Each structure stands twice: as C-alpha cells, then as structure tokens.
A and B are shown apart, each in its own frame.
Chain A
C-alpha cells in the first residue's frame, strides 16, 4: 500500500477504496432492501441518511485526500464573507496518483448519484413523499461532493497550467541567460 511504489495494476490504497465504496453501497442497499425487512419508515430514514452522511464525511475527508489528492472546504473570513477553498497536491504528486484509485473514486461517486436519481424517480412514480425525502437528502449529499471535487479538480488543472507556463517561462529565461553568458 505504499504509494511511492510504481503502481501498475493494483490499487494503491485498497482499504481506503473499500471504505469509499462501503458506505455508498450500504446506504443504497439498505434503502432498497429495507422495505423487505422493516415496516418502520423512521428506521429506514434514519439509517439510510446516517449512512449517506458517513459516506459524505469519508469521501470528503478521507478518500478525497488519499485517492485523488484533492480537498475542498468552506470558510468564513474576517469580514464575514463565505469563501470556498480548494486545494490539491502539487503536480508531481498528482502525476503519481494511482490511476485505478482515481478511476474508482470518480466513477463510484457518479454511479451512486445516478442510482439515487433513479430511486427518486421510482418513488416519484409511486407517489411516496416520505421516501422521496430520503432520496432527496442522499442525493443532495452525493451531488455536494461531486460538485466540490469537480471544482477542486478544475482548480488543480488551472494551477498545473499556471505552474507549467511559469516553469517554462523561467526555464526559457534561464536558458537564454546561460546562452548569453557562454557567448
């Protein structure tokens, strides 16, 4: 699990990946299967939303950092404005991130959101307002994470470009200088 080793085919952080998927799958599974076992809507609601919240927390704080090196949060600064902050690893480390890890990270996030949308459509069709509430909450959480990390990734790309142009410019100028010093 040492991310410094060249990872060609295996997941670099299998346990993190496992937890990343675990809570999403547990929330979806519990929601879908609970109708068979439980009669009480309250239990379904509380457990499903609890699992979705845990998933949100794990993705935002654990797997985001470990699997893709991104992080986002919100701050309120001194003058009382709300500021969203996005952070990423430096370019070298980003390039070293395991491809499989990040593939898993993004695709499970998207798939989970799509699954909740489908479940929401089902409960709309059946006119079950309470289940729609559950789906709504879980969907909000998934989408919040997706938006946060997508913005973070765009931000990271912009920074990489800026860094790259800056590096190219500085190297260019130093090459020029060394060329001139030789002449």
Chain B
C-alpha cells in the first residue's frame, strides 16, 4: 500500500487529490513554479516505457495504489498513531519552498487521514469484489488497486473464529486455518499462471482473500448458532456466494477451454473451508 505520509504543513492539498501520484504531481507543479531544480522522477522496473515524470495516467483509479504484500489495517494503531502526527507538524515547515522536493511536502496529511483512506480503500475493494456492481464485467479493472490488508484481516478473522469455535486444540486450528488459506491462495494463483492465464500475482491473492468475506460471515454465524442443520445451510449459502464472487475474475483470466481447470481448485478450497467450519465443535 503506498500511502502518503503527510503531517500538517502549510501547503494545501489539492481538494481532489487522493493518491500519492496526484499529490506529487501537484507539488511538482508548484515547486517547478518556484524553480526547484529537479523534479523527482520515477522509473519503472519493467521494460514498459520509462516515464521521466511521476506518471499520472488519465485512467488513474480514484483510490491510491495500494501497498505491497501484507497486512492488516491499522485499526489498532489508530489509537496510538495520532501521537505520531505531532512529529512532523513541527518538522518540514517550509521545506517545499526551499527546494526539498515533493516527497517531504506530501507529508502534509495527518496519519489519521491516511488510515481513513486505507480503510475506505479496503471497503471499496470489498464492495467491488463481493457485491454485485457494474464493474464485474471487467474484472481487470475492478481490482486495479489491489491491497493485501483486507485479505490478511479476513484470513486472520476466519482463523480466530474457527479457533474460538474449537473446544480443543485451539492453537492448531488457528495455525492450520491460516496456513491453508494463505498457502491455498498462493497455489491457486500459481495454478492460474501455469495454465497460461493472464493474471497478476498480487491482484489474484488480493481477490481470493476478499472472496473469503462471505465465509467469514458464515463462520461467525456458525459460532453463534451451534445447530448442525443451520450450520449446513449457512455454510452452503456463503460458499455459493464466495464462489460466485470469485468466478468472473478467475474465468476471464484463462483460456475459455481451461476455465474449469482454473475454477475447480478455487471451489475446492472454499468447500474445504466450509467443511472446516461445519465440522468444528
């Protein structure tokens, strides 16, 4: 998750600026106008055309590109971190004007804003993936801003719920659930890639993690209501929901003749998680 770190500053943020790239661009323009020497440039690692400036594509997604790999939303740290913004409000006061370059000047947003933006990104990713919406016809576009914080949170939550439901061997249950889900997501992604599919590794990990959300709900309901019949019904419904959510992304990524090969393991994984939920007592 790339996020900007901004701590109170005199430079006003562009009102619609929500991404690092937007902010950097604004600051480049403002610092160029105040004759700063060299705008920071970014270069792509891949052979795709290197751009001399911070790239801003016209179809830049409204939400900022998200972080690399892991992890959980700083829900906890939101309590602690507000102490942090006190830091930079006293540092970097006029650094932009003195030609410090854009990145320290993008430290104008308090950490709390960054946290809120991350949270809203997770919510919007969740809505894109799991609930019906107009972007489902174009899966590649839908999860453009992948992030792994949502999936991590869902996997940990599922592990915790399963662990709470278990009356014995709680630790093993949690460890097994976490390892199976994490390794399963990686293996499923590799499966799609090896079938000659076009999918981006982290995007797929992110997707499979978000599709766990219905199973999370199912597990929570099963935790609260211990009747076997209810469990079976709830689990099958949430299982169907999860598979429905994952279907468009997985199927469009591969050759149509290999759709079943790509989808079957996903379904299998969710079925086994469903059995785990039902069988825990």
A-side residues, CB < 8 A to B, are 1-4, 12-13, 15-16, 19, 40-42, 45-46, 49-50, 52-54, 56-57, 60-62, 65-66, 69, 71-78, 80-93, 96, 129-130, 133, 137, 140-141, 144, 148, 151, 155, 158-159, 163
B171 interface residue (CB < 8 Å to A): yes
B residues in contact with A50, CB < 8 Å: 71-72, 76
Give B12-46 as 1s and 0s: 1 = Cβ < 8 Å from A's Cβ atoms. Answer: 00000000100010000000000011111111111
Number of A-B contacts (CB under 8 A): 198
Cβ-defined contact, B93 with A53, below 8 A: no
The distance in angstroms between the C-alpha atoms of A57 and B200, with both chains bound, is 22
Give the one of B4, B69, B201, B202 with max A CB within 10 A.
B69
CA distance A89 to B95 in the complex (A): 12
B171: chain A residues within 8 A (beta carbon) = 40-42, 130
Cα distance, A137 to B156, chains bound together (Å): 13
Residues of B at under 8 Å CB distance from A?
1-5, 20, 24, 36-46, 48, 54-55, 57, 59, 65, 67-72, 74, 76-77, 84, 86-88, 90-95, 98-104, 106-107, 111, 114, 140, 144-146, 149, 152, 156, 159-160, 163, 170-172, 174-175, 178-179, 198, 200-203
Query: Is B44's CB under 8 angstroms from A83's CB?
Result: yes
Residue of B nearest to A147 (CB): B68
Report whether B68 and A74 are in contact in the complex, using a CB–CB cutoff of 8 Å: yes
Whether A76 contacts B146 in the complex (CB less than 8 A), given A3-B91, A49-B71, A89-B104, comes out as yes
User: By the criterion CB–CB under 8 Å, are A86 and B42 in contact?
Assistant: yes
Closest beta carbon of chain B to A70's beta carbon, Å: 8
Contact of A69 among B42, B104, B114, B203 (CB under 8 A): B104
- A interface majority secondary structure: helix
Is the beta-carbon distance between B200 and A76 smaller than 8 angstroms? yes
**Interface hub of A71, A84, A86 (most chain B Cβ within 10 A):** A71
Bound CA span A78–B172, Å: 43
Whether the Cβ atoms of A159 and B41 lie closer than 8 Å is yes
B44 to chain A, nearest CB (A): 5
Which of the residues B88, B114, B179 comes within 8 Å of A66, measured between beta carbons?
Answer: B88
A99, B275: Cα distance in complex, Å:
56
- Assuming the contacts A66-B5, A92-B37, A140-B69, asked whether A42 and B163 have C-beta atoms less than 8 A apart, the reply is yes
Q: Which of B39, B57, B90, B178 has the most CB of A within 10 A?
A: B178
- New contact pairs (5) apart from A90-B37, A133-B175, CB-CB < 8 Å: A13-B91, A56-B71, A69-B103, A75-B65, A90-B40
Distance, CA A84 to CA B178, complexed state (A): 28
Inter-chain contact A53/B174, CB cutoff 8 Å: no
Q: Is the CB–CB distance between B103 and A15 below 8 Å?
A: no
**Cα A4 to Cα B74 with chains together (Å):** 31
Q: In the complex the two chains form, is A84's CB within 8 Å of B44's CB?
A: yes
Assess whether A89 is in contact with B5, with CB atoms less than 8 Å apart: no
Closest A residue by C-beta to B140: A80
Residue of A nearest to B198 (CB): A80
In the complex, the answer to whether B70 meets A141 with C-beta atoms within 8 Å is yes
Would you give the shortest CB distance from A69 to chain B, in whole angstroms? 6
Known: A42-B170, A61-B4, A65-B103. A73 touches B68 (CB 8 A): yes
How far, in whole Å, are A76 and B147 apart by their CA atoms in the complex? Answer: 12
Query: Within 8 Å CB of B146, what residues of A?
Result: 76
Contact A87 B203, beta carbon cutoff 8 Å = no
How far apart sit A133 and B174, CA to CA, in the bound complex (Å)?
A: 11
Q: Given the complex, which residues of B lie within 8 Å of A155, measured CB to CB?
A: 43
Among candidates A49, A61, A76, residue contacting B114 with C-beta atoms closer than 8 Å: A61
Complex CA–CA separation, A71 to B111 (angstroms) = 17
Shortest Cβ distance from B143 into A: residue: A76
* Interface core residue of B68, B145, B152, B156 (most chain A CB under 10 Å): B68
